[in-house]
Amino acid sequence: MKTREKIIAAAIELFNEQGTKAATTNHIAAAAGISPGNLYYHFRNKEDIIRAIFEQMDAYGLEQYQLIVNEVRPGTVESMERTFRMIQEYNWRYRFFKRELTALIMGDPLLRELFQRTHRNLLLLVRQSNEFAVSMGVLKPMSENEMALFSEEFWLLALFWLNYLEVGGEEVNDETLQRGIDLLRNTIKPRLTDEALIELAKRARGPASPG
Amino acid sequence: MKTREKIIAAAIELFNEQGTKAATTNHIAAAAGISPGNLYYHFRNKEDIIRAIFEQMDAYGLEQYQLIVNEVRPGTVESMERTFRMIQEYNWRYRFFKRELTALIMGDPLLRELFQRTHRNLLLLVRQSNEFAVSMGVLKPMSENEMALFSEEFWLLALFWLNYLEVGGEEVNDETLQRGIDLLRNTIKPRLTDEALIELAKRARGPASPG
DNA sequence: GTCTATAAGCGGATAGAC
DNA sequence: GTCTATCCGCTTATAGAC
C-alpha cells in the first residue's frame, strides 16, 4: 500500500470515528504510521485529504452501481431495493462525509462543486431508472410532476436513512437497514402495477427462479 | 436583552453562518458585544452554549406546535401540512443544529440524551396524529406495521427536507418549501379516504368556508 | 520520500482588577 | 457582571537533514 493510500485509509477511519475536527493531521499521520511532515509531502492540508476521499467515494459508488446493473434486471423492484441497500452500505463506509456534509461543502467551494455535480447526476439516474420501470410495466404510469416528486422522495430516503437512524440513536445493522427497505417498499407499493405486485408476492415466498 | 441571551442570539447567528467549528468563543463574544472573559462568566464552554440553544429550540418547537393545534383541526390534511411547514421554519431558524447534528451529539453525551428524548417524543406525536387522522376518517385504516412505517416516513421527510435542499445547493425559499409539501402530499395521497380527497379538492379551488 | 524539529498562530479557558 | 491580560496546549504547516 502506497503512503498516499495509507493516509487516505487512516483518515477515513478516524473521520468516521471522531469527526473531521477531532481527527487532526497529526493523528492521521500517526494512524497511518508516518510522520506529520510526510503527510504534508503528500497532501497540502486536511481539505486536500477530504477531497481525495471524495474522489475515491465517487469512483466506488459508480463501481457498485455498475455491479447492480450487471446482476439484476433494471427497472424491477429488486433492482430498486438493491440500489437502496447499496447506497446505505456506501453511506456507512464514508459516514463522516454525510454527517458533516453541509459543514464540509460550506467551507470548501471546490468540494461543493464536485459533490453537487454527483448529487444531480444520481438524482437523474434514479429518475431514469423509475421511468424505465414504468416502461417495463412495473410502476404504474404517472404524470411528469408525480415522477419528479416520486424520484426525489426515493432519493431523499436513500440519502438520509442512515442519518435518520444515527440521530435517533439506533444502531445500524441488518434489522434497521431492513426497516429502511420496508419503508421504501411501503412508499412504492401503491404505485406498483398489478403484475408487479404478483411478482413481488412470488418473490416473498421463495427466491425466484431465473427467467 | 440580558447578556446571556445576547450570547445565545449571537451564537445562533454565527453557528448558522459559519458552523460551530469556525465560530469560536472569541467570535461569539465579539458578535455579542462583550469580552471573551465575560462569555465564560455566563457559560462554562462552547458545549454549554449549544446545550442552552437546544433548550431554547425545544421550548420554541413545542410552542409552535401548540399554535397549530389551537388554530387548525387536528387529524386533517391541513394540519399535517401546517406541521410540516412549521418544522421547516424551525429547522431553518436553527439550521446549524440539524446540519451538524450527528457530530454534535457524538461529542456531547448529555446533549445526545436531551435530543433523543425529544426526537422520540416527536415521532410518537406524529404517529398519534396519524392515528387520530384514521379515526377521523381522513386516512384509510392501516395495519400497525404500516402505520409505524408511514409515520416514520413523514417524520424523516420533515426532518431532512431542509438538509436535502441544502446539500443539493438549492435555496430555501417558498418555492422549494412548497415542493417539500408537494412531495409529502404525493406520499399521503394514496392513503387518503375518498371523503378526504373530495375535501382536499375543495380546498384547492378556494380557501374553504369554515364548518 | 521520509524523518525530526520547530515556528507561528489560534482557540479555550482562567485570574484578578474594577 | 464585566473587563483586560495572559497562559496553556494544541494544530497546522514549514525547513532542512538524511
CB contacts, 8 Å: B140 with chain A? none
pLDDT at A123 over 60: yes
Q: Judge whether B160 and A156 are in contact, CB under 8 Å.
A: yes
Alpha carbons B171 and B180: distance in angstroms, whole number: 13
Closest by CA to B113, choosing from B195, B172, B36, B55, is B55
Q: Judge whether B191 and B139 are in contact, CB under 8 Å.
A: yes
Q: Do A164 and B160 make contact, defined as CB atoms within 8 angstroms? A: yes
Residue pLDDT, tens place only, A144-188: 999 999 999 999 999 999 999 999 999 999 999 999 999 999 999
Residue pLDDT, tens place only, A40-50: 999 999 999 99
Calculate what percentage of chain A has a pLDDT beyond 90. 93
User: Distance between terminal CA atoms of chain A?
Assistant: 43
Alpha-carbon dihedral sign for residues B63, B69, B71, B72: positive
Q: Judge whether A88 and A7 are in contact, CB under 8 Å.
A: no
State the nearest Cα–Cα gap between A10 and chain B, in angstroms: 19
What's the pTM value of the predicted model, to 2 decimals? 0.94
Query: Does A101 touch chain B if contact means CB atoms closer than 8 Å?
Result: yes
Alpha carbons B113 and B100: distance in angstroms, whole number: 16
Query: Does A55 touch chain B if contact means CB atoms closer than 8 Å?
Result: no
CATH 1.10.357.10 for domain A46-205? yes
DSSP result, A42-101: H-SSHHHHHHHHHHHHHHHHHHHHHHHHHHS-TTSHHHHHHHHHHHHHHHHHTHHHHHTH
> Residue B78 carries which side chain, given as an amino acid letter?
E
pLDDT at B208 over 80: no
**B3 Cβ within 7 A of any nucleic strand C atom:** no
Residues with CB under 7 A from strand D: A 22, 24-26, 36-37, 40, 44-46; B 3, 33-38, 41-42
Alpha carbons A33 and A138: distance in angstroms, whole number: 52
3-state DSSP percent of chain A in helix, strand and coil, to 5: 80, 0, 20
Query: Using 50, 70 and 90 to split pLDDT, how confident is the model at A204?
Result: confident
Query: Does A73 touch chain B if contact means CB atoms closer than 8 Å?
Result: no
Beta-ladder partners of B192 = B139
Residue pLDDT, tens place only, B172-186: 999 999 999 999 999
Beta-ladder partners of A139 = A192
Within 13 Å of residue B107, how many CA atoms lie on the same side as its CB?
21
> Residue A126 carries which side chain, given as an amino acid letter?
V
Residue A127 to residues A21, A61, A150: CA-CA distances in angstroms? 36, 17, 8
Q: Do A164 and B168 make contact, defined as CB atoms within 8 angstroms? A: no
Tell me, which fold does domain A1-43 have in CATH?
A: Arc Repressor Mutant, subunit A (1.10.10)
Nearest residue to nucleotide C16, by CA–C1' distance, is B37
CATH of B50-205, one of 1.10.357.10, 3.40.50.12780, 1.10.3720.10, 3.10.310.30: 1.10.357.10
Read off the DSSP letter of residue B169. T
Identify the pLDDT of residue A211: 39
Residue bearing cell 469556525: B22
Query: Using 50, 70 and 90 to split pLDDT, how confident is the model at B130?
Result: very high
State the nearest Cα–Cα gap between B101 and chain A, in angstroms: 7
Alpha carbons B200 and B202: distance in angstroms, whole number: 5
Residue B175 to residues B79, B158, B180, B183: CA-CA distances in angstroms? 20, 16, 9, 12
Helix axes B144-167, B174-188, angle to 10 degrees: 160
Task: Name which of A102, A107, A156 is nearest B166 (Cβ-Cβ).
Answer: A102
Closest by CA to B45, choosing from B11, B2, B1, B9, is B11
Domains of chain B, by residue range, sit at 1-43, 50-205
Task: Name which of A101, A105, A153 is nearest B187 (Cβ-Cβ).
Answer: A153
